[in-house]
Amino acid sequence: MRKLHLIVIGLLFVPTFFLTSCDQGDEPEVLTPAFTLLKDHMINNNLDIDKIITNADGEKFVVAAPAEADLAAFLDKFYIIDIRSATDFATSHIEGAKNVAFSTILNEGTNAGSKPVLIVCYTGQTACYGTALMRLYGFSHTRALKWGMSGWNSATAGSWNKNVNDVAKDTPSWSYEKEITPLVLSDPTISSLSQSGEAILKSRVELAVQEGFKTVTNADVVANPSGYFINNYFSGTDYIGFGHLTDAYRILPLTLADNSYKGLDPTPGAKVVTYCYTGQTSAVVTACLRVLGYDAYSLTFGMNGLYHSNSAWTSNQWGVGSSVPKELTLVN
């Protein structure tokens, strides 16, 4: 009985021993938030949003279709991947292009060797989204064909021709009011067990590729602008001159380094919609924002789909000037 009594007393002291040991030991390691690690890695490696739009070598994310005289050199320069449907690719495509699924673009990038990748789609928008993700993944010289196949030849221009619109014209959703002062909000929350910014970036890009291009239509936003956190990616002059979606913020520049990104709503489920003139730059911004943890979307066709007939246009209006299809060769 005495032996049992001693055992019980000993067990009572066990928790005290462990508590004392914990009190005297090292403090628990405080982990750096995944977003902070990701942000720092992107800034320190020329992967901030503005460096994805224009890389460290001064190459913008898009390249226009060449003049006929420059076609041979253009085709020789790029490893061209066409992410349109297999049916449309078989009907007509750029000579030497390879048809791949969007979900495989990261793997396909390794097959390019020393050549820069050129991504081709119908309108340039999905290609720009993919270009941003590939640049973030390390394929820094990747570019998208501006205007997509629509700018290559009038025979493949249907996707742009049928989507120019004036859906916002003369509606309460279109405003000419002065800019709204951006908010200062918190960082998004990213779930990751890694303490490596590089590893977090890699996994976030891979996830974004698998999820595909995230968009909203201009009609949906015009019908319910209050249902979105709207980011207008115009110059200050155009914000007033063109007009803008009601209650849209204008956050430009938009970078991590200057904390301007904090003007965006990081709340899960708060749809952050970026729009630009053509839907191509907004696709790049949206790709970056999704990698950073925002519930981000690109407004398809941009200003061209909102108010194409707006008299303030000077550039990037579909069907005028440099956006007229080049009538370059197609093969099947």
Under CATH, which number does the domain 174-306 receive? 3.40.250.10
> Which pair of tokens denotes residue 317?
């209006």
Lookup result for tokens 């020393």 = 114
Query: Residue 27: its pLDDT value, please?
Result: 65
Does residue 17 surpass a pLDDT of 60? no
Q: Residue 271's CB: how many other CB atoms inside 10 A? A: 17
Q: Which tokens go with 234?
A: 């115009």
Q: Which of 320, 311, 318 is nearest to 276 (CA)?
A: 318
pLDDT in tens, 37-64: 999 999 999 999 999 999 999 999 999 9
User: How far is Cα 256 from Cα 289, in angstroms, rounded to an integer?
Assistant: 10
Q: Where exactly are the structural domains of the chain?
A: 34-164, 174-306
pLDDT digits (tens, 9 = 90+) for 266-313: 999 999 999 999 999 999 999 999 999 999 999 999 999 999 999 999
pLDDT band (50, 70, 90) for residue 24: low
Q: Do domains 34-164 and 174-306 have the same CATH topology?
A: yes
The structure's pTM equals 0.91
pLDDT above 50: residue 7: no
How far is it, in rounded angstroms, from Cα 132 to Cα 16? 56
Instruction: Find the farthest-apart pair of alpha carbons in the chain and give their distance in angstroms, rounded.
Output: 103
Task: Give pLDDT, residue 314.
Answer: 86
Contact 127, 143 (CB under 8 A): no
pLDDT tens, position by position, 196-205 = 999 999 999 9
Q: What is the CATH number of domain 34-164?
A: 3.40.250.10
Q: What is the 3-state secondary structure (H, E, C) of 186-246?
A: CCCCCCCCCCCHHHHHHHHHHHHHHHCCCEECHHHHHHCHHHCEEEECCCHHHHHHCCEEC
Q: What is the dihedral of CA 274, 279, 280, 286, to 10 degrees?
A: 30
Mean pLDDT (whole number) for 137-166: 98
220-266 per-position pLDDT tens digit: 999 999 999 999 999 999 999 999 999 999 999 999 999 999 999 99
Residues with Cβ within 8 Å of residue 22, at least 6 apart in sequence:
none
